[in-house]
Amino acid sequence: MVDTIEKVLVLLMPVCVITAALSEPLVKLYLGGGAFDSEAVVNVAEALRLYLWSAVPMSAMLIMSRAFYAKQDTWTPSLLTMGAFVISLPLYHLLEHLGMMRVPIVSSITVGLQFIALLVMWLTRHGEDTYKRLMFSILKLSVVVVPVYLLTHMMVLRFKFVRMSSWS
């Protein structure tokens, strides 16, 4: 299971980081134009960046769920999914002031909590080595991915500034 999660992390984390950094140009490329004005592009790009926070834990959670299924335990992932749903309902209400952005925020929070709960349940049943190895993999990837995100984001901001200054 850890090998699979590591492979997913290696593939998905950089993609999520680059997609987050380039979210506005990507949304403008795919959806911009017509009735989809610049405000809509900014809003969808922000929602995309917020949803991307849940991509890695969601992928790891799905792999971990299958590990539970392989151990003939279908109840644990199912009950945790139900618990995440129950937690999300009051969160939607509490974060109502955020408007539509509360949807990706609550989704990311509940997916993250569900992943942590599955990880804790797995560790209590199958040992701590899994946790150490997984956390070390996340740390190693973060050392590479965070600078890539910052560099890409700075390049996008610079491109925006250059493009906007050339309009005047």
What pLDDT digit, counting tens, does each position of 44-74 carry? 988 898 888 888 888 888 888 998 999 999 9
Among 119, 130, 107, CA closest to 60: 119
The per-residue pLDDT for range 146-162, each reduced to its tens digit, is: 676 677 667 666 665 44
What is the reported pTM?
A: 0.72
Distance, in Å, from the CA atom of 151 to the CA atom of 145, rounded to the nearest integer, reads 10
Neighbours of 49 (CB within 10 A): 17
Distance, in Å, from the CA atom of 115 to the CA atom of 121, rounded to the nearest integer, reads 10
Question: What's the pLDDT score for residue 8?
Answer: 84
| DSSP at 74 | -
The answer to whether the CB of 76 falls within 8 A of the CB of 121 is yes
- The predicted model gives 112-120 an average pLDDT of 86
